[in-house]
């Protein structure tokens, strides 16, 4: 049983190929609000042909924080995938309590990340999931309940804001030469150190405050494109799980099939 996993974010669309055991491959396309069912469907069809080598895809399983692309994706799944699209949590129940005051307000990716972390890590009772995406989100889980969390600026979004609003600041690549803070000796070096260690300090500070609220012990799981980079300078990240959202989609679909639910 092979199925396509799709995480539609504000900046990128991430794809994975899932089966009963794991997410076996991942690809990334930029999010484009001008996509049609044909343009997006053809791109996905090409990815599937490249990745699956003749395996039959039985379903597309997706979460999306870009509502404008949902109908496009659904149409593409039928035309080019010849299979149904399952939007999570619209079409697939997530076995986790949602304690948001307005449950429908929670981003699907945040809820799926919390669900995935709880399924992957039965202990300890408290989890903090940090997703380094367009925004940096902190999501808190206690036992089998999603409590809510925090939304902060994203690293690349902050860099983009600086570069567009400040003419003299150069473009930089985020890289680490040492895992300890250095005093910047150039504008690029100063910006690099400020962004990396500034965000690491934000992470460490907020995790410390959240741990005062949550039941001990607490595990901190990081995901998203820059998670591995930040984990090298943050003191509070316990582990990095790059494909956490795709893994949550995989687990939710398998649970859905196991219960014999139809669309």
Which is the catalytic residue, given 7, 109, 131, 139?
Answer: 109
- Cα–Cα dist 227/162, whole Å: 21
Please name which of 153, 183, 159, 155 lies closest in space to residue 171, comparing C-alpha atoms: 159
Q: Residue 98 gets which letter from DSSP? A: E
Compute the radius of gyration of the chain from its Cα atoms: 19
- Cα–Cα dist 41/57, whole Å: 14
Return the axis-axis angle of helices 187-213 and 155-165, rounded to nearest 10°. 140
- Verify whether residue 109 is a known catalytic residue: yes
Within 10 angstroms of residue 131's Cβ, the number of other Cβ atoms is 26
Q: Tokens standing for 238? A: 């316990």
Q: Tokens standing for 28? A: 């990334």
């Amino acid at each position: 049983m092979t199925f396509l996993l799709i995480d539609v974010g504000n900046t990128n669309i991430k794809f994975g190929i899932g089966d009963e055991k794991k997410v076996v491959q991942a690809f990334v396309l930029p999010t484009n609000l001008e996509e049609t069912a044909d343009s997006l469907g053809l791109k996905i069809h090409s990815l599937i042909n490249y990745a699956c080598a003749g395996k039959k895809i039985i379903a597309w399983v997706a979460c999306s924080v870009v509502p404008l692309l949902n109908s496009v994706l659904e149409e593409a799944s039928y035309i080019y995938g010849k299979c149904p699209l399952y939007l999570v949590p619209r079409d697939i129940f997530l076995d986790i309590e949602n304690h948001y005051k307005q449950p429908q307000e929670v981003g699907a990716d945040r809820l799926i990340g919390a669900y995935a972390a709880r399924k992957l890590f039965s202990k300890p009772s408290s989890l903090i999931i940090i997703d380094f995406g367009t925004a940096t989100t902190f999501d808190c889980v206690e036992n089998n309940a999603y409590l809510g969390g925090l939304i902060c600026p994203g690293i690349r979004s902050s860099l983009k804001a600086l570069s567009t609003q400040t003419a003299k600041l150069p473009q930089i690549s985020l890289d680490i030469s040492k895992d300890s803070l250095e005093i910047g000796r150039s504008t690029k070096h100063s910006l690099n150190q400020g962004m990396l260690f500034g965000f690491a300090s934000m992470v460490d500070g907020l995790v410390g405050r959240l741990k005062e609220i949550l039941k001990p012990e607490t595990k901190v799981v990081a995901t998203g494109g820059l998670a591995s980079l930040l984990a090298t300078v943050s003191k509070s990240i316990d582990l990095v799980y790059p494909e956490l959202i795709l893994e949550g989609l995989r687990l939710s679909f398998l649970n859905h099939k196991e219960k014999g639910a139809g669309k």
